[in-house]
Amino acid sequence: MRVLQIMECTIGGTRRHLRDLAHGLSRRGHTVEVVASTLREPRMVEDLAAMEAAGIAVHQLDMVRPIEPLTDVGHALALAGTVFDRRFDVIHTHSSKAGALGRAVGTMLSGAARVHTPHTYAAAFDGGKGQGGEAPGPPGLILATERLLGRVTDRLIHVSEGEREQGVSLGVSTVDRGRVVPNGIDPAPFQDPQGGAEVRAEFGIPPDAQVVGTVGLLNDAKGHDLLVDALAQLPAEVHVLLVGHGELEQPLRQQAARLGLADRVHITGWRDDVSPCHDAMDLFCLPSRWEGLSYALLEALAAGLPCVSSAVNGSPEVLLPGPGHPDCGCIVPRDDSAALAQALSGLLSDEELRRELSAAAARRVTEAFTIDHMIDGTLAVYREILGTGGEQL
């Protein structure tokens, strides 16, 4: 199978999704080409180099998130040169800008199946800003464009059931075209985490403190301010460890100082060594305002951490899977620091419940949220469109 992957929003989980998907498809013997921007994440250059080393054809095209007509036309023409006569079986676009340009060009110039993964619907949240706090354009225009493009998209792959339902409610997707293929991770690097004592010492966290941690970009989508507000309602022996970097680092430090929590809120900056940070935590918290399906949540579960999450896409179906599967965390209303504080307090004071949730956590990831599950699901969608069933096209 010959597949073209196109993405502009190469930050956070979307960057990781593209990397894992491209390598996973290539390892299965499929011919993969990637068109990606590096503007929002310079380390994407390293990802593209690794793809090339693995035999994946790479086209760096620095698409921009905001609507810029002249620039966008130039990028569409560049995409046309990549698409035309390359005889792709599938053109798979990701996020808003690449989704718009890639599907428009694919519709006009290629007979390839068109697949799109939104990685959250920015038009549904916070004025359409999405990841990084940068709105690509007027929300009404973005939503109208997504609805129009949805009509020429063979399948929309959503990373969670909640995201699929949201796509249908927005009029972007339909029940017959929407599919769910959850994000997946390699759980091995996060199992048996060690080094927590060193991380605590590095940031001056007392050895006997209870630590609530989270991992992610420091932007409005991730809701770190809600966790800091919740900390003000928790006992003095509770500390918060924020693993990540981003534009809200200084405002978060100012918020902590204003609440008298400067010595209990610890911001690590960018870390490659996430596993020792997990080992420093007693609980993992995902206070996000919106998600597709959080990679950070899956990593924390793989590390065996009990989790508290806001009711964002993906989290309920991961943490509260339903009959026959034990819960591995708690869900609280979105954008509600009081509810968050109450849930954290309840778990911090109940060691037995934490042990039960921890025991179910790693198993949940292994059973349903690995990279192999993600590749299997994606290929199943491709083959469904192409009519190849279980054959190895």
Q: What are phi and psi of 373, to 5 degrees?
A: -60, -40
Contact 8, 75 (CB under 8 A): no
Looking at this protein, which amino acid is placed at residue 257?
A: A
Average pLDDT of every residue of the chain: 93
Q: Could you give all domains of the chain from N- to C-terminal order, each with its CATH number?
A: 2-184+370-386 (3.40.50.2000), 188-368 (3.40.50.2000)
With CA atoms as reference, report the closest residue to 164 among 381, 364, 393.
381
How far out from the chain centre does Cα 239 lie?
Answer: 25
Span 33-37, mean pLDDT?
Answer: 97
What pTM did the predictor assign? 0.93
Span 241-264, mean pLDDT?
Answer: 97
Span 308-337, mean pLDDT?
Answer: 94
Rounded to whole angstroms, how far apart are CA atoms 214 and 281?
A: 9
Coil, helix or strand for 328? Answer: coil
Q: What are phi and psi of 151, to 5 degrees?
A: -75, -20
Give the pLDDT confidence score for residue 227 in this predicted structure. 98
Give the pLDDT confidence score for residue 133 in this predicted structure. 53
Give the pLDDT confidence score for residue 325 in this predicted structure. 84
DSSP secondary structure letters along 17-86 = HHHHHHHHHHHTT-EEEEEE--SS-TTHHHHHHHHHHTT-EEEE----SS--HHHHHHHHHHHHHHHTTS
Question: What's the pLDDT tens digit per position in 229-246?
Answer: 999 999 999 999 999 999
Rounded to whole angstroms, how far apart are CA atoms 319 and 321?
A: 6
Report how far apart the first and last C-alpha atoms of the chain are (Å, whole number).
5
Q: Which two tokens stand for residue 310?
A: 């806001």
Burial of 55 (0-12, 13-18, 19+ CB in 10 A): exposed
Contact 10, 27 (CB under 8 A): no
Give the pLDDT confidence score for residue 393 in this predicted structure. 43
Question: What's the pLDDT tens digit per position in 193-202?
Answer: 999 999 999 9
Question: What's the pLDDT tens digit per position in 281-306?
Answer: 999 999 999 999 999 999 999 999 99
Q: Does the pLDDT of residue 340 top 70, yes or no?
A: yes
Q: Does the pLDDT of residue 315 top 50, yes or no?
A: yes
Give the pLDDT confidence score for residue 334 in this predicted structure. 95
Percent of the chain with pLDDT over 90: 87
Q: In what order do the strands lie in the sheet with 90-94?
A: 57-60, 31-36, 2-7, 90-94, 113-117, 155-158, 178-180
Looking at this protein, which amino acid is placed at residue 216?
A: G
Rounded to whole angstroms, how far apart are CA atoms 183 and 176?
A: 21
Contact 193, 279 (CB under 8 A): yes
Question: What's the pLDDT tens digit per position in 351-387?
Answer: 999 999 999 999 999 999 999 999 999 999 999 999 9
Question: What's the pLDDT tens digit per position in 264-287?
Answer: 999 999 998 999 999 999 999 999
Give the pLDDT confidence score for residue 392 in this predicted structure. 43
